[in-house]
Amino acid sequence: MTAIARRNGKTWKKIAKGATPFLLVLPVVLYYAAFWLRPVLSSIIASFTGDAGQFTLDNFALVFHEEDFVAAVKNTAIIVVFSVTLEFLAALFLALLINRKFKGSGLFLFMAMIPMALPAAAAGAMWITGLTAHGWLNSLLGYLGILAEGKKIYWLVGSNAKLLATLIIIDAWQVIPSVMIILLAGLQNIQEEMREAGYVFGGNYLHVLRKITLPLLKPTITTAVILRMISAIQIWLIVVFLFGYSRLPVLLERVVFYTKEARGLYIADQMAAGYTLVVAAIVSLAALVYLQVSGAFKREKEQLT
Amino acid sequence: MTRTKKKPVSVAKAARTTIFYIFVVGVVVALLLPFYFIVSLSFLSTREAYEYPLPMVPAINTHFKLERGKRGNLLSVYDRVEGGYETVLDTKELQKMSDYMKYQLATPMTLEDIEQQIAKLETQDVVYFTRRRNLLSNYQSFFGVAGSEAVPALIRSLQICALTIIISLSIGGMAGYAFARYAFKGKDLLKFSVLFVRMFPGVAIAIPMLKILVGLNFYDKPIGLSLVYSIGNIALTIWITASIFMGIPESLEEAAQVFGASKARAFLRVTLPLALPGLAAAAMYSFLGAWNETVSAIILTQFNPTFSVIVFKTVLGAVGQVNLAAAGGMAMALPAIIFTFFIRRYIRQMWGGVTI
């Protein structure tokens, strides 16, 4: 009897032990079911629902036929491709250079974090006041003698290409430091001995970088790039701050436009719902493709086995 | 890479160090320059803020020149950009002059003071005088004009941040611990949750969320927004706390258990104290996320906006008041920057542990 009881106790303990991680994770699951999955599902359902409550694909037809749709996709694609590439390369370059202990490295890190800590409203205020014809950027260029007296650069008007360039540079200012910090953290977790071994075997800096540092940094790079890519596709607030609605349409800006600005329009809800799903689909697809190409899923399996 | 050669090397090394520091300083300047201007702009008077080129540094004093004018008394102000006095006002009314000084020049003067200066015109043709500027004028008018709204909104925002920290640190921290210490089914799913919750635009969640919050009677209340903000923050907190717990050797906990402590006690007495600074950093990350968010706040508040909404409206609506917008932006940025200062040391720990 006692032996059975003891054995029962043991199995219970074992089960309890096996259940611990699930109990710890349970609150997250419940929370996401209630406050993420539920709104997401109703958002998806809304995108397939017509104004009479029937199932329909009309919302997407409306979206695809909207005059700004093609422009929005094109602009978003340009922003994502150029800004993610530019920001990643610049951040990697900076991180490799800064990756050493130097006097004031703590202070430097703090200052690098300021742009990313800046709230969107503050960043918007900063660039609006800076980029208008009478703004501080032109003033500064004037003081430095780069801009002749009485001349002004009109940053916020002109061709789409010019506006996109302005936007990408501004975005880079805010984002490069944060990407750099993630990469820097990854670099500092690589053991110094690894790289030293590379040098001992006669490798030069570029060899060691290509064969040792970058491969070891790859998981961090994947993390940094994918987080960056996801938020780059969802860019909109700074666009609206600088150019207003509809001047330089991007995908998420259309969602907000139909949600908040075009309330009077009778198809506004359907447009917003349709655009939402389009954005979500594009983000998910891009993220999955990137993870597949970068081999993150493969790495996952290796770790498990 | 410690090479022990003689002086020529150290010269080259010194040169390299110098170049390195010049580079670092260059990066810092590029990072902080735009930031400097918004700080500077937030201290400028309205008149200065509309000059071109903009003054690079806010003035501490305003220099006045007073003469007899056609209609009354002619007031001129020293213009640092042009390098001379510029006439700004010709009036008999003291109140009008005082108002102009207060609102356009951010240099408040009492009526008696102005009267005294005007009285001097009896004996002199021109009167020069200098008064100290009120540097905080934009901040005062932001909190005064944006009204009775700004201060309650600030308090509300802080409540939202506190609730978000509590929710995401408790729920996310538990999962983070599980992630760091156990192998279990669905672990990868947890890891990718950071990505999943970001793939669906926050704006898009805010709209159906509106109905859910109304149903819970949480709409337009701090708890409602903090529930929304916790969605993203929990996922991030899982990552950060998992990294932190991974950094604390499990053997410490096991050692405590060998000495008779229960698993829970070992965690509370050994792991938690060691993790505390890192957890504080994770909490500050949640604070930043909740404090800075504007878009959901616009959609999910009605009569009780957050501070970020107030600033957003001032910035967009203050096309006629750039210095006021700058002051609002700075008021918003300051807490974020202070908190960043405290978490800077944990960055490596935070981003080092979990990767995709």
Same domain (yes/no): B201, B307: yes
Neighboring chain A residues of B38 at a CB cutoff of 8 Å: 122, 125-126, 129-130
Average pLDDT, chain B: 85
Same domain (yes/no): A28, A107: no
Neighboring chain B residues of A117 at a CB cutoff of 8 Å: 288, 292, 333, 336-337, 339-340
Given a cut of 50, whether residue A104 has pLDDT beyond it is: yes
Size of the A and B interface in Cβ pairs below 8 Å: 270
- Whichever domain contains B256, its CATH number is 1.10.3720.10
Residue ranges making up the domain that contains A171: 63-304
Q: Supply the pLDDT for residue B9.
A: 65
Q: Supply the pLDDT for residue B5.
A: 46
Closest-CA residue to B161 (of B308, B265, B8, B34): B308
Same domain (yes/no): B288, B219: yes
Same domain (yes/no): A89, A219: yes
Name B129's bridge partners.
B64
- Residue at A52 is within a domain: no
Mean pLDDT calculated for residue range B161-183: 93
- Residue at B58 is within a domain: yes
Name B91's bridge partners.
B73
Test A231 with B316 for CB contact under 8 angstroms. Answer: no
H or E, element range at A257: none
Name B74's bridge partners.
B67, B90
CA distance B80 to B98: 21
Q: Is B73 in contact with B66 (CB distance < 8 Å)?
A: yes
Q: Supply the pLDDT for residue B352.
A: 62
Given a cut of 70, whether residue B204 has pLDDT beyond it is: yes
For B316-342, what is each residue's pLDDT tens digit?
A: 765 557 888 888 888 888 988 888 888
Provide the domain count of chain A. 2
CA distance B177 to B19: 44
Amino acid at B72: G
CA distance B322 to B42: 8
- Residue at B62 is within a domain: yes
A165, two tokens: 């360039």
- Residue at A190 is within a domain: yes
Same domain (yes/no): B316, B192: yes
Phi/psi of residue A161, nearest 5 degrees: -60, -40
Location of structure tokens 């990350």: B285
Mean pLDDT calculated for residue range B221-237: 91
Q: Where does the pLDDT of residue A304 fall: very low under 50, low under 70, confident under 90, or very high at 90 and above?
A: very low
Name A55's bridge partners.
A49
| Percent of chain B whose pLDDT exceeds 70 | 93
Q: Supply the pLDDT for residue B318.
A: 54
- Per-residue buried b or exposed e for B11-34, using 16+ beta carbons within 10 Å of the residue's own CB: eeeeeeeeeeeeebeebbeebeeb
Mean pLDDT calculated for residue range B2-24: 76
Q: Is A95 in contact with A183 (CB distance < 8 Å)?
A: yes
- Per-residue buried b or exposed e for A101-132, using 16+ beta carbons within 10 Å of the residue's own CB: eeeeeeebbbbbbbbbbbbbbbbbbbbbbbbb
Neighboring chain B residues of A138 at a CB cutoff of 8 Å: 52-53
Amino acid at A168: I
Residue ranges making up the domain that contains B28: 7-43
Given a cut of 50, whether residue B201 has pLDDT beyond it is: yes
Mean pLDDT calculated for residue range B263-284: 86
Neighboring chain A residues of B218 at a CB cutoff of 8 Å: none
Same domain (yes/no): B131, B249: no
Q: Supply the pLDDT for residue A162.
A: 92
CA distance B327 to B333: 10
Test B52 with A139 for CB contact under 8 angstroms. Answer: yes
- Residue at B17 is within a domain: yes
- Residue at B1 is within a domain: no
For B302-323, what is each residue's pLDDT tens digit?
A: 888 898 888 888 777 655 578 8
Q: Are strands B84-91 and B73-79 parallel, antiparallel or unpaired?
A: antiparallel
Given a cut of 70, whether residue B2 has pLDDT beyond it is: no
Q: What is the pTM of this model?
A: 0.83
Residue of B nearest to A223 (CA): B356
Mean pLDDT calculated for residue range B335-356: 74
Q: Supply the pLDDT for residue B354.
A: 62
Q: Supply the pLDDT for residue A2.
A: 54
Phi-psi region of A54 (alpha: psi -120 to 50; beta: other; left: phi over 0): beta
Phi/psi of residue B177, nearest 5 degrees: -65, -45
Given a cut of 70, whether residue A216 has pLDDT beyond it is: yes
Q: Supply the pLDDT for residue A3.
A: 55
Same domain (yes/no): B325, B202: yes
Test B340 with A120 for CB contact under 8 angstroms. Answer: no
- Residue at B174 is within a domain: yes
Provide the domain count of chain B. 3
Same domain (yes/no): A124, A231: yes
Given a cut of 70, whether residue B8 has pLDDT beyond it is: no
CA of A282, closest CA in chain B: separation in Å? 9
Same domain (yes/no): B58, B26: no
Mean pLDDT calculated for residue range A162-189: 89
Domain end position, chosen among B85, B108, B135: B135
Domain end position, chosen among B91, B112, B135: B135
- At residue A265's C-alpha, the angle toward residues A261 and A271, to 5°, is 80
CA of A257, closest CA in chain B: separation in Å? 11
Closest-CA residue to A187 (of A121, A305, A96): A96
CA distance B276 to B295: 32
Same domain (yes/no): B34, B82: no
Q: Where does the pLDDT of residue B147 fall: very low under 50, low under 70, confident under 90, or very high at 90 and above?
A: low
For B25-74, what is each residue's pLDDT tens digit?
A: 999 998 899 999 989 989 999 888 888 888 888 888 999 999 988 888 89
Phi-psi region of B27 (alpha: psi -120 to 50; beta: other; left: phi over 0): alpha
Same domain (yes/no): A164, A193: yes
Neighboring chain A residues of B175 at a CB cutoff of 8 Å: 24-25, 27-28
- Residue at B125 is within a domain: yes
Q: Supply the pLDDT for residue B1.
A: 47
